[in-house]
Structure 1
Amino acid sequence: MRTVLICHEGDDFDRAGLAAWLASFSELAGVVVLAETPAQMRARVRREIRRVGWLRFLDVVAMRLYQRVALARRDRAWTAAALTRMRERYGEPPAVPQLVAADVNDEAVAAFLRHTAPDIVLARCKQLLKKRQIAIPRIGCFVLHPGICPEYRNAHGCFWALSQRDLERVGMTLLKVDAGVDTGPVYGYYSYPFDERRESHVVIQYRVVLENLDRLAQRFSDIFEGTASVVDTRDRPSGSWGQPWLSRYLRWQRAAKAAGP
Protein backbone atom coordinates (compact mmCIF):
# COMPACT_ATOMS: atom_id res chain seq x y z
CA MET A 1 0.00 0.00 0.00
CA ARG A 2 1.50 3.29 -1.15
CA THR A 3 0.43 6.37 0.81
CA VAL A 4 0.91 10.13 0.70
CA LEU A 5 0.33 12.47 3.63
CA ILE A 6 -0.97 16.02 3.21
CA CYS A 7 -0.47 18.19 6.31
CA HIS A 8 0.11 21.75 7.43
CA GLU A 9 3.45 23.38 8.06
CA GLY A 10 4.09 23.68 11.78
CA ASP A 11 1.90 20.75 12.79
CA ASP A 12 4.56 18.33 14.01
CA PHE A 13 1.95 15.85 15.29
CA ASP A 14 1.04 15.21 11.65
CA ARG A 15 4.24 16.04 9.83
CA ALA A 16 6.50 13.94 12.04
CA GLY A 17 4.25 11.67 14.10
CA LEU A 18 1.62 10.62 11.58
CA ALA A 19 4.19 10.41 8.79
CA ALA A 20 6.21 7.88 10.83
CA TRP A 21 3.00 6.03 11.73
CA LEU A 22 1.98 5.76 8.06
CA ALA A 23 5.44 4.46 7.22
CA SER A 24 5.07 1.73 9.86
CA PHE A 25 2.34 -0.12 7.92
CA SER A 26 2.53 1.28 4.38
CA GLU A 27 5.05 2.55 1.87
CA LEU A 28 5.02 6.29 2.52
CA ALA A 29 5.66 7.66 -0.97
CA GLY A 30 5.65 11.37 -0.18
CA VAL A 31 4.45 14.27 1.95
CA VAL A 32 2.72 17.47 0.83
CA VAL A 33 3.29 20.33 3.29
CA LEU A 34 0.86 23.24 3.08
CA ALA A 35 2.34 26.63 3.92
CA GLU A 36 -0.66 28.92 3.73
CA THR A 37 -0.36 32.56 2.75
CA PRO A 38 -1.78 35.56 4.66
CA ALA A 39 -4.25 36.01 1.80
CA GLN A 40 -5.59 32.49 2.33
CA MET A 41 -5.98 33.10 6.06
CA ARG A 42 -7.86 36.36 5.39
CA ALA A 43 -10.13 34.49 2.98
CA ARG A 44 -10.90 31.94 5.71
CA VAL A 45 -11.84 34.78 8.06
CA ARG A 46 -14.16 36.28 5.44
CA ARG A 47 -15.87 32.92 4.94
CA GLU A 48 -16.48 32.57 8.67
CA ILE A 49 -17.91 36.09 8.87
CA ARG A 50 -20.30 35.22 6.04
CA ARG A 51 -21.29 32.07 7.94
CA VAL A 52 -22.04 33.62 11.32
CA GLY A 53 -22.11 37.42 10.93
CA TRP A 54 -19.97 40.10 12.55
CA LEU A 55 -21.39 39.89 16.07
CA ARG A 56 -20.93 36.14 16.32
CA PHE A 57 -17.50 36.44 14.75
CA LEU A 58 -16.48 38.55 17.76
CA ASP A 59 -17.40 35.47 19.83
CA VAL A 60 -15.03 33.45 17.62
CA VAL A 61 -12.24 36.01 18.11
CA ALA A 62 -12.83 36.03 21.88
CA MET A 63 -12.46 32.24 21.93
CA ARG A 64 -9.20 32.45 19.98
CA LEU A 65 -7.82 35.00 22.43
CA TYR A 66 -8.92 32.95 25.45
CA GLN A 67 -7.40 29.83 23.95
CA ARG A 68 -4.11 31.60 23.35
CA VAL A 69 -3.94 33.01 26.87
CA ALA A 70 -5.45 30.22 28.98
CA LEU A 71 -5.15 26.95 27.07
CA ALA A 72 -2.36 27.07 24.50
CA ARG A 73 0.57 26.36 26.83
CA ARG A 74 -1.04 23.22 28.24
CA ASP A 75 -2.09 22.10 24.76
CA ARG A 76 1.48 22.52 23.47
CA ALA A 77 2.84 20.50 26.39
CA TRP A 78 0.40 17.69 25.66
CA THR A 79 1.29 17.73 21.95
CA ALA A 80 5.02 17.57 22.71
CA ALA A 81 4.48 14.59 25.01
CA ALA A 82 2.28 12.86 22.42
CA LEU A 83 4.91 13.37 19.74
CA THR A 84 7.54 11.87 22.05
CA ARG A 85 5.34 8.78 22.48
CA MET A 86 4.93 8.47 18.73
CA ARG A 87 8.67 8.84 18.11
CA GLU A 88 9.43 6.18 20.71
CA ARG A 89 7.08 3.78 18.97
CA TYR A 90 7.51 4.62 15.28
CA GLY A 91 10.85 6.44 15.12
CA GLU A 92 11.52 9.37 12.84
CA PRO A 93 9.65 9.61 9.54
CA PRO A 94 11.59 8.24 6.56
CA ALA A 95 13.28 10.50 4.05
CA VAL A 96 10.68 10.68 1.28
CA PRO A 97 9.95 13.27 -1.42
CA GLN A 98 8.25 16.38 -0.05
CA LEU A 99 6.43 19.20 -1.76
CA VAL A 100 5.72 22.55 -0.11
CA ALA A 101 2.70 24.36 -1.53
CA ALA A 102 0.23 27.02 -0.46
CA ASP A 103 -2.85 25.50 -2.08
CA VAL A 104 -3.70 21.81 -1.96
CA ASN A 105 -5.34 22.17 -5.37
CA ASP A 106 -2.28 23.59 -7.15
CA GLU A 107 -1.19 21.86 -10.33
CA ALA A 108 2.16 21.23 -8.62
CA VAL A 109 0.36 19.12 -6.00
CA ALA A 110 -1.51 17.22 -8.72
CA ALA A 111 1.78 16.53 -10.51
CA PHE A 112 3.38 15.38 -7.25
CA LEU A 113 0.51 12.96 -6.59
CA ARG A 114 0.66 11.59 -10.11
CA HIS A 115 4.42 11.07 -9.76
CA THR A 116 4.24 9.37 -6.35
CA ALA A 117 1.23 7.28 -7.48
CA PRO A 118 -0.34 6.60 -4.07
CA ASP A 119 -3.10 4.11 -3.45
CA ILE A 120 -4.33 6.22 -0.54
CA VAL A 121 -3.87 9.89 0.38
CA LEU A 122 -4.39 10.92 4.01
CA ALA A 123 -5.43 14.57 3.93
CA ARG A 124 -4.80 16.30 7.27
CA CYS A 125 -5.62 19.78 6.04
CA LYS A 126 -8.20 22.53 6.41
CA GLN A 127 -8.43 23.09 2.66
CA LEU A 128 -11.03 21.24 0.60
CA LEU A 129 -9.71 19.11 -2.22
CA LYS A 130 -11.20 19.56 -5.66
CA LYS A 131 -12.38 16.67 -7.80
CA ARG A 132 -9.20 16.67 -9.87
CA GLN A 133 -7.02 15.97 -6.85
CA ILE A 134 -9.47 13.50 -5.32
CA ALA A 135 -9.41 11.37 -8.45
CA ILE A 136 -5.63 10.85 -8.54
CA PRO A 137 -4.96 8.22 -5.82
CA ARG A 138 -5.99 4.74 -6.93
CA ILE A 139 -8.27 4.04 -3.96
CA GLY A 140 -9.00 7.56 -2.76
CA CYS A 141 -8.32 10.43 -0.38
CA PHE A 142 -9.27 9.95 3.26
CA VAL A 143 -9.59 12.23 6.28
CA LEU A 144 -9.56 11.69 10.03
CA HIS A 145 -12.34 14.14 10.72
CA PRO A 146 -12.53 15.53 14.29
CA GLY A 147 -16.22 14.89 14.73
CA ILE A 148 -18.89 12.26 14.17
CA CYS A 149 -20.39 12.56 10.71
CA PRO A 150 -22.91 13.39 9.42
CA GLU A 151 -24.04 15.13 12.63
CA TYR A 152 -20.81 17.11 13.09
CA ARG A 153 -19.37 17.95 9.69
CA ASN A 154 -16.98 20.78 8.74
CA ALA A 155 -14.97 22.29 11.62
CA HIS A 156 -14.33 21.35 15.27
CA GLY A 157 -16.88 18.58 15.61
CA CYS A 158 -15.52 17.52 19.00
CA PHE A 159 -15.98 21.02 20.40
CA TRP A 160 -19.54 21.29 19.16
CA ALA A 161 -20.55 17.85 20.39
CA LEU A 162 -19.18 18.76 23.83
CA SER A 163 -20.91 22.13 23.88
CA GLN A 164 -24.17 20.50 22.75
CA ARG A 165 -23.76 17.90 25.55
CA ASP A 166 -23.90 15.23 22.86
CA LEU A 167 -21.22 13.22 24.64
CA GLU A 168 -21.93 9.99 22.75
CA ARG A 169 -20.78 11.75 19.58
CA VAL A 170 -17.44 13.12 20.76
CA GLY A 171 -14.99 11.38 18.49
CA MET A 172 -13.51 11.02 15.04
CA THR A 173 -14.77 9.80 11.67
CA LEU A 174 -12.65 8.03 9.08
CA LEU A 175 -14.20 8.97 5.79
CA LYS A 176 -13.38 9.03 2.11
CA VAL A 177 -13.31 12.46 0.53
CA ASP A 178 -15.91 13.38 -2.06
CA ALA A 179 -16.98 16.69 -3.58
CA GLY A 180 -18.89 17.77 -0.47
CA VAL A 181 -17.82 18.89 3.00
CA ASP A 182 -17.29 15.68 5.01
CA THR A 183 -20.10 13.97 3.11
CA GLY A 184 -18.17 10.99 1.71
CA PRO A 185 -18.46 7.30 2.64
CA VAL A 186 -17.80 6.62 6.34
CA TYR A 187 -15.42 3.78 7.20
CA GLY A 188 -15.46 3.99 10.97
CA TYR A 189 -15.95 5.97 14.18
CA TYR A 190 -13.34 6.27 16.93
CA SER A 191 -13.27 7.68 20.45
CA TYR A 192 -11.65 7.11 23.85
CA PRO A 193 -12.56 7.80 27.52
CA PHE A 194 -11.97 11.57 27.29
CA ASP A 195 -11.93 13.83 30.33
CA GLU A 196 -13.86 16.93 29.38
CA ARG A 197 -13.03 18.69 32.65
CA ARG A 198 -9.27 18.41 32.22
CA GLU A 199 -8.72 18.08 28.48
CA SER A 200 -9.30 20.91 26.02
CA HIS A 201 -11.20 20.27 22.81
CA VAL A 202 -7.89 20.61 20.95
CA VAL A 203 -6.31 17.84 23.02
CA ILE A 204 -9.41 15.67 22.60
CA GLN A 205 -9.40 15.94 18.83
CA TYR A 206 -5.72 15.02 18.65
CA ARG A 207 -5.86 12.35 21.33
CA VAL A 208 -8.73 10.56 19.61
CA VAL A 209 -6.28 9.98 16.77
CA LEU A 210 -3.37 9.00 19.03
CA GLU A 211 -5.40 6.47 21.01
CA ASN A 212 -6.68 4.73 17.89
CA LEU A 213 -3.60 4.43 15.67
CA ASP A 214 -3.58 0.63 15.73
CA ARG A 215 -7.25 0.39 14.80
CA LEU A 216 -6.81 2.99 12.07
CA ALA A 217 -3.81 1.16 10.59
CA GLN A 218 -5.87 -2.03 10.42
CA ARG A 219 -8.78 -0.17 8.85
CA PHE A 220 -6.60 1.34 6.15
CA SER A 221 -5.22 -2.14 5.45
CA ASP A 222 -8.79 -3.43 5.12
CA ILE A 223 -9.64 -0.59 2.75
CA PHE A 224 -6.56 -1.41 0.66
CA GLU A 225 -7.51 -5.09 0.57
CA GLY A 226 -11.08 -4.23 -0.40
CA THR A 227 -12.63 -5.88 2.66
CA ALA A 228 -13.77 -2.75 4.54
CA SER A 229 -17.49 -2.08 4.69
CA VAL A 230 -19.07 1.37 4.72
CA VAL A 231 -21.24 2.64 7.58
CA ASP A 232 -24.84 3.37 6.60
CA THR A 233 -25.51 7.02 7.52
CA ARG A 234 -28.82 7.41 5.71
CA ASP A 235 -31.72 9.03 7.58
CA ARG A 236 -29.40 10.64 10.14
CA PRO A 237 -29.37 14.41 10.77
CA SER A 238 -26.55 16.31 9.14
CA GLY A 239 -24.96 19.46 10.52
CA SER A 240 -22.19 21.75 9.30
CA TRP A 241 -20.35 23.57 12.10
CA GLY A 242 -17.78 26.34 12.23
CA GLN A 243 -15.22 27.86 14.56
CA PRO A 244 -15.67 27.60 18.37
CA TRP A 245 -17.40 30.42 20.25
CA LEU A 246 -16.31 31.58 23.71
CA SER A 247 -19.94 31.76 24.84
CA ARG A 248 -20.44 28.09 23.96
CA TYR A 249 -17.12 27.14 25.55
CA LEU A 250 -18.13 28.75 28.85
CA ARG A 251 -21.51 27.02 28.73
CA TRP A 252 -19.78 23.69 28.09
CA GLN A 253 -17.41 24.22 31.02
CA ARG A 254 -20.26 25.05 33.39
CA ALA A 255 -22.15 21.95 32.31
CA ALA A 256 -19.05 19.74 32.64
CA LYS A 257 -18.42 20.97 36.19
CA ALA A 258 -22.06 20.49 37.13
CA ALA A 259 -21.90 16.91 35.86
CA GLY A 260 -19.24 16.11 38.47
CA PRO A 261 -16.01 14.11 38.19
Structure 2
Amino acid sequence: MSAVPEFAGKKIVMLAGPGESTNILFHALDAEFGVHRIIVETPVSQKQLLKRRAEKLGWATVLGQIAFKLAVAGPLGRGSQARLAALKKANQLDDRSLPEDRTIRVPSVNDPACIARLQALSPDVVVVNGTRIIAKRVLTSVPCPFLNTHAGITPLYRGVHGGYWALANNDAAHCGVSVHLVDAGIDTGGIIAQALIQPGPEDNFATYPLHQLIAGLPLLKDAVRAALGGNIQLRPAPEGTSRLWSHPTLAEYWANRRRTGVR
Protein backbone atom coordinates (compact mmCIF):
# COMPACT_ATOMS: atom_id res chain seq x y z
CA MET A 1 0.00 0.00 0.00
CA SER A 2 1.32 3.43 -0.97
CA ALA A 3 0.07 6.95 -0.44
CA VAL A 4 0.42 10.28 -2.26
CA PRO A 5 2.46 12.53 0.09
CA GLU A 6 0.03 15.46 -0.17
CA PHE A 7 -2.75 13.18 1.06
CA ALA A 8 -0.81 11.50 3.85
CA GLY A 9 -3.16 10.77 6.73
CA LYS A 10 -6.23 10.81 4.49
CA LYS A 11 -8.34 7.66 4.47
CA ILE A 12 -9.89 6.04 1.42
CA VAL A 13 -12.44 3.36 2.25
CA MET A 14 -14.13 1.19 -0.36
CA LEU A 15 -17.69 -0.04 0.06
CA ALA A 16 -18.27 -2.85 -2.40
CA GLY A 17 -19.75 -6.13 -3.48
CA PRO A 18 -17.43 -9.05 -4.21
CA GLY A 19 -16.23 -9.54 -7.77
CA GLU A 20 -13.53 -8.93 -10.33
CA SER A 21 -14.34 -5.25 -10.89
CA THR A 22 -14.01 -4.61 -7.16
CA ASN A 23 -10.62 -6.35 -7.13
CA ILE A 24 -9.43 -4.27 -10.09
CA LEU A 25 -10.63 -0.98 -8.61
CA PHE A 26 -9.08 -1.76 -5.24
CA HIS A 27 -5.62 -2.51 -6.66
CA ALA A 28 -5.70 0.50 -8.98
CA LEU A 29 -6.62 2.89 -6.17
CA ASP A 30 -4.27 1.21 -3.71
CA ALA A 31 -1.33 1.62 -6.07
CA GLU A 32 -2.19 5.29 -6.61
CA PHE A 33 -3.20 6.43 -3.12
CA GLY A 34 -3.30 3.55 -0.67
CA VAL A 35 -6.70 2.18 0.36
CA HIS A 36 -7.20 2.09 4.13
CA ARG A 37 -9.93 -0.56 4.28
CA ILE A 38 -12.49 -2.22 2.01
CA ILE A 39 -15.91 -3.13 3.38
CA VAL A 40 -17.46 -5.97 1.37
CA GLU A 41 -21.12 -6.88 1.62
CA THR A 42 -22.71 -10.28 1.12
CA PRO A 43 -24.64 -10.21 -2.18
CA VAL A 44 -28.40 -10.62 -2.28
CA SER A 45 -29.27 -14.25 -2.96
CA GLN A 46 -30.26 -15.11 -6.52
CA LYS A 47 -33.71 -16.22 -5.36
CA GLN A 48 -34.34 -12.97 -3.51
CA LEU A 49 -32.96 -10.93 -6.40
CA LEU A 50 -35.27 -12.59 -8.91
CA LYS A 51 -38.26 -12.17 -6.62
CA ARG A 52 -37.61 -8.45 -6.20
CA ARG A 53 -37.08 -8.03 -9.92
CA ALA A 54 -40.31 -9.85 -10.69
CA GLU A 55 -42.20 -7.54 -8.33
CA LYS A 56 -41.00 -4.57 -10.41
CA LEU A 57 -40.96 -5.99 -13.93
CA GLY A 58 -43.25 -9.03 -13.85
CA TRP A 59 -42.35 -12.69 -14.18
CA ALA A 60 -42.67 -12.71 -17.99
CA THR A 61 -39.84 -10.18 -18.28
CA VAL A 62 -37.73 -11.90 -15.63
CA LEU A 63 -38.07 -15.28 -17.34
CA GLY A 64 -36.98 -13.62 -20.60
CA GLN A 65 -33.95 -12.20 -18.79
CA ILE A 66 -33.07 -15.63 -17.41
CA ALA A 67 -33.36 -17.08 -20.92
CA PHE A 68 -31.01 -14.37 -22.21
CA LYS A 69 -28.47 -15.14 -19.51
CA LEU A 70 -28.53 -18.87 -20.22
CA ALA A 71 -28.66 -18.72 -24.02
CA VAL A 72 -26.57 -15.63 -24.79
CA ALA A 73 -24.76 -13.89 -21.92
CA GLY A 74 -23.25 -17.10 -20.52
CA PRO A 75 -21.90 -18.38 -23.85
CA LEU A 76 -20.66 -14.89 -24.82
CA GLY A 77 -18.80 -14.60 -21.52
CA ARG A 78 -17.16 -18.00 -21.90
CA GLY A 79 -16.24 -17.27 -25.51
CA SER A 80 -14.76 -13.86 -24.67
CA GLN A 81 -12.17 -14.98 -22.11
CA ALA A 82 -9.23 -14.42 -24.46
CA ARG A 83 -10.46 -10.92 -25.34
CA LEU A 84 -11.03 -10.04 -21.69
CA ALA A 85 -7.57 -11.34 -20.75
CA ALA A 86 -5.99 -9.31 -23.55
CA LEU A 87 -7.74 -6.12 -22.40
CA LYS A 88 -6.64 -6.66 -18.80
CA LYS A 89 -3.08 -7.30 -19.86
CA ALA A 90 -2.92 -4.33 -22.23
CA ASN A 91 -4.19 -2.01 -19.50
CA GLN A 92 -2.16 -3.60 -16.69
CA LEU A 93 -5.22 -4.39 -14.60
CA ASP A 94 -4.62 -6.31 -11.39
CA ASP A 95 -7.54 -8.62 -10.59
CA ARG A 96 -5.96 -10.48 -7.67
CA SER A 97 -8.10 -11.17 -4.61
CA LEU A 98 -8.51 -8.51 -1.96
CA PRO A 99 -6.05 -8.54 0.95
CA GLU A 100 -7.83 -10.17 3.87
CA ASP A 101 -6.04 -8.03 6.45
CA ARG A 102 -7.74 -4.92 5.04
CA THR A 103 -11.09 -6.48 4.16
CA ILE A 104 -14.13 -6.14 6.43
CA ARG A 105 -17.17 -8.33 5.73
CA VAL A 106 -20.71 -7.16 6.48
CA PRO A 107 -24.12 -8.70 5.69
CA SER A 108 -25.22 -5.61 3.75
CA VAL A 109 -24.07 -2.06 3.10
CA ASN A 110 -27.29 -1.01 4.84
CA ASP A 111 -26.73 -3.12 7.95
CA PRO A 112 -26.03 -1.29 11.24
CA ALA A 113 -22.69 -3.13 11.33
CA CYS A 114 -21.64 -1.33 8.17
CA ILE A 115 -22.55 2.06 9.59
CA ALA A 116 -20.62 1.27 12.76
CA ARG A 117 -17.57 0.26 10.73
CA LEU A 118 -17.72 3.40 8.59
CA GLN A 119 -17.98 5.64 11.62
CA ALA A 120 -15.10 3.87 13.33
CA LEU A 121 -12.92 4.18 10.22
CA SER A 122 -13.79 7.87 9.74
CA PRO A 123 -12.96 7.98 6.01
CA ASP A 124 -12.22 11.10 3.98
CA VAL A 125 -13.80 9.54 0.89
CA VAL A 126 -15.80 6.36 0.27
CA VAL A 127 -15.52 4.63 -3.10
CA VAL A 128 -18.54 2.48 -3.94
CA ASN A 129 -18.60 -0.45 -6.36
CA GLY A 130 -21.15 -3.15 -7.09
CA THR A 131 -23.36 -2.82 -4.02
CA ARG A 132 -27.12 -2.83 -3.59
CA ILE A 133 -28.78 0.61 -3.38
CA ILE A 134 -27.27 2.40 -0.39
CA ALA A 135 -29.73 3.83 2.12
CA LYS A 136 -29.64 7.51 3.01
CA ARG A 137 -28.86 6.64 6.64
CA VAL A 138 -25.59 5.09 5.48
CA LEU A 139 -24.69 7.96 3.15
CA THR A 140 -25.17 10.46 5.97
CA SER A 141 -23.45 8.36 8.63
CA VAL A 142 -20.03 9.86 7.88
CA PRO A 143 -19.25 13.43 6.69
CA CYS A 144 -17.50 12.61 3.43
CA PRO A 145 -18.39 12.13 -0.25
CA PHE A 146 -19.34 8.71 -1.65
CA LEU A 147 -18.10 8.15 -5.22
CA ASN A 148 -19.26 5.57 -7.72
CA THR A 149 -18.17 4.48 -11.20
CA HIS A 150 -21.26 3.69 -13.25
CA ALA A 151 -21.17 1.61 -16.44
CA GLY A 152 -23.28 4.04 -18.43
CA ILE A 153 -23.75 7.71 -19.23
CA THR A 154 -26.03 9.10 -16.54
CA PRO A 155 -28.80 10.09 -16.32
CA LEU A 156 -29.67 8.69 -19.78
CA TYR A 157 -28.48 5.16 -19.02
CA ARG A 158 -29.01 4.46 -15.35
CA GLY A 159 -29.33 0.92 -14.03
CA VAL A 160 -27.37 -1.87 -15.72
CA HIS A 161 -25.62 -2.50 -19.05
CA GLY A 162 -25.55 1.17 -20.03
CA GLY A 163 -22.95 0.59 -22.75
CA TYR A 164 -24.95 -2.18 -24.39
CA TRP A 165 -28.22 -0.26 -24.27
CA ALA A 166 -26.64 2.85 -25.81
CA LEU A 167 -25.32 0.81 -28.72
CA ALA A 168 -28.61 -1.08 -29.07
CA ASN A 169 -30.34 2.31 -29.34
CA ASN A 170 -27.92 3.50 -32.05
CA ASP A 171 -26.67 6.03 -29.50
CA ALA A 172 -22.89 5.57 -29.63
CA ALA A 173 -22.56 9.23 -28.62
CA HIS A 174 -23.68 8.17 -25.15
CA CYS A 175 -21.93 4.81 -24.87
CA GLY A 176 -19.60 5.27 -21.95
CA VAL A 177 -18.99 5.53 -18.24
CA SER A 178 -19.74 8.03 -15.48
CA VAL A 179 -18.14 8.85 -12.15
CA HIS A 180 -20.67 10.47 -9.85
CA LEU A 181 -21.57 11.24 -6.28
CA VAL A 182 -23.79 8.64 -4.66
CA ASP A 183 -27.19 9.69 -3.38
CA ALA A 184 -30.19 7.66 -2.25
CA GLY A 185 -31.45 7.25 -5.84
CA ILE A 186 -30.32 4.84 -8.55
CA ASP A 187 -27.39 6.47 -10.40
CA THR A 188 -28.92 9.92 -9.84
CA GLY A 189 -26.07 11.64 -7.98
CA GLY A 190 -24.17 14.66 -9.27
CA ILE A 191 -21.91 13.92 -12.24
CA ILE A 192 -18.18 14.45 -11.73
CA ALA A 193 -16.83 13.09 -15.03
CA GLN A 194 -17.85 11.03 -18.05
CA ALA A 195 -16.00 9.32 -20.90
CA LEU A 196 -17.03 7.41 -24.02
CA ILE A 197 -15.85 3.99 -25.15
CA GLN A 198 -15.43 2.69 -28.70
CA PRO A 199 -15.74 -1.10 -28.72
CA GLY A 200 -14.32 -2.96 -31.70
CA PRO A 201 -15.88 -5.67 -33.86
CA GLU A 202 -14.42 -8.32 -31.53
CA ASP A 203 -16.35 -6.91 -28.56
CA ASN A 204 -19.79 -7.84 -27.28
CA PHE A 205 -22.14 -7.72 -24.31
CA ALA A 206 -19.54 -9.55 -22.19
CA THR A 207 -16.66 -7.17 -22.93
CA TYR A 208 -18.37 -3.76 -22.91
CA PRO A 209 -18.26 -3.49 -19.08
CA LEU A 210 -14.49 -4.00 -18.99
CA HIS A 211 -14.03 -1.25 -21.59
CA GLN A 212 -16.14 0.99 -19.36
CA LEU A 213 -14.10 0.09 -16.29
CA ILE A 214 -10.87 0.86 -18.14
CA ALA A 215 -12.19 4.23 -19.30
CA GLY A 216 -13.54 5.00 -15.85
CA LEU A 217 -10.41 4.28 -13.83
CA PRO A 218 -8.56 7.54 -14.61
CA LEU A 219 -11.78 9.49 -14.01
CA LEU A 220 -12.22 7.81 -10.64
CA LYS A 221 -8.64 8.52 -9.65
CA ASP A 222 -9.10 12.19 -10.52
CA ALA A 223 -12.37 12.25 -8.54
CA VAL A 224 -10.72 10.66 -5.50
CA ARG A 225 -7.90 13.19 -5.74
CA ALA A 226 -10.43 16.02 -5.89
CA ALA A 227 -12.40 14.58 -2.97
CA LEU A 228 -9.29 14.29 -0.82
CA GLY A 229 -8.39 17.86 -1.72
CA GLY A 230 -11.89 19.10 -0.96
CA ASN A 231 -12.51 20.47 -4.45
CA ILE A 232 -14.97 18.21 -6.25
CA GLN A 233 -16.59 19.98 -9.18
CA LEU A 234 -19.76 18.74 -10.85
CA ARG A 235 -20.56 18.90 -14.56
CA PRO A 236 -23.92 19.38 -16.25
CA ALA A 237 -25.87 16.28 -17.19
CA PRO A 238 -26.09 15.49 -20.91
CA GLU A 239 -29.38 16.39 -22.54
CA GLY A 240 -31.90 13.62 -22.98
CA THR A 241 -34.43 11.54 -21.11
CA SER A 242 -33.34 9.91 -17.86
CA ARG A 243 -34.18 6.23 -17.90
CA LEU A 244 -33.52 3.23 -15.69
CA TRP A 245 -32.44 0.18 -17.74
CA SER A 246 -32.58 -3.47 -16.77
CA HIS A 247 -31.18 -6.71 -18.20
CA PRO A 248 -32.33 -7.47 -21.77
CA THR A 249 -34.68 -10.34 -22.35
CA LEU A 250 -33.77 -12.94 -24.94
CA ALA A 251 -36.37 -11.51 -27.33
CA GLU A 252 -35.07 -7.95 -26.85
CA TYR A 253 -31.48 -9.00 -27.44
CA TRP A 254 -32.23 -10.78 -30.72
CA ALA A 255 -34.49 -7.97 -31.92
CA ASN A 256 -31.74 -5.43 -31.16
CA ARG A 257 -29.10 -7.58 -32.81
CA ARG A 258 -31.15 -7.98 -36.00
CA ARG A 259 -31.81 -4.25 -36.08
CA THR A 260 -28.35 -2.91 -35.18
CA GLY A 261 -25.88 -5.80 -35.32
CA VAL A 262 -24.87 -5.09 -31.72
CA ARG A 263 -23.70 -8.27 -30.00
Change (3 A) 1:91 1:185: same
The match for 1:35 is 42
Change (3 A) 1:137 1:24: farther
Aligned 8 A contact 1:172 1:191 in 2? yes
Aligned 8 A contact 2:179 2:219 in 1? no
The match for 1:254 is 258
1:19 to 20, 26, 45: 26
Unaligned runs of 5+ in 2: 1-9
Query: RMSD of the alignment, in Å?
Result: 2.7
| Cα offsets for 1:119-169 (capped at 9, x unmatched) | 111111240111121123432111111111111112222222122221111
Change (3 A) 1:83 1:114: farther
1:224 to 210, 224, 228: 228
Matched, 1:60 2:60: no
1:173 to 178, 184, 193: 178
Matched, 1:159 2:164: yes
| Separation in 1, partners of 2:161, 2:153 | 10
| Separation in 2, partners of 1:172, 1:251 | 25
| Separation in 2, partners of 1:101, 1:89 | 24
Change (3 A) 1:159 1:208: same
Unaligned runs of 5+ in 1: none
Change (3 A) 1:238 1:101: same
Aligned 8 A contact 1:110 1:133 in 2? yes
Amino acid at match of 1:101: V
Provide the aligned length of Structure 1 versus Structure 2.
253
| Separation in 2, partners of 1:175, 1:88 | 22
| Separation in 2, partners of 1:94, 1:86 | 22
Aligned 8 A contact 1:163 1:248 in 2? no
1:202 to 191, 202, 206: 206
The match for 1:243 is 247
Aligned 8 A contact 2:76 2:206 in 1? no
| Separation in 2, partners of 1:19, 1:203 | 20
Aligned 8 A contact 1:23 1:93 in 2? no
1:143 to 143, 148, 156: 148
The match for 1:2 is 11
Matched, 1:187 2:192: yes
Amino acid at match of 1:167: A
| Separation in 2, partners of 1:256, 1:230 | 34
Aligned 8 A contact 2:11 2:36 in 1? yes
Residue 84 of structure 1 deviates from its aligned partner by 4.9
Aligned 8 A contact 1:3 1:120 in 2? yes
Change (3 A) 1:141 1:96: farther
TM-score of the aligned structures, taking structure 2 as reference length:
0.83
| Separation in 1, partners of 2:150, 2:256 | 21
1:98 to 100, 103, 112: 103
The match for 2:135 is 130
Aligned 8 A contact 1:48 1:242 in 2? no
The match for 2:120 is 115
Change (3 A) 1:69 1:203: closer
| Cα offsets for 1:189-229 (capped at 9, x unmatched) | 1222212x421233212222213423431232123323332
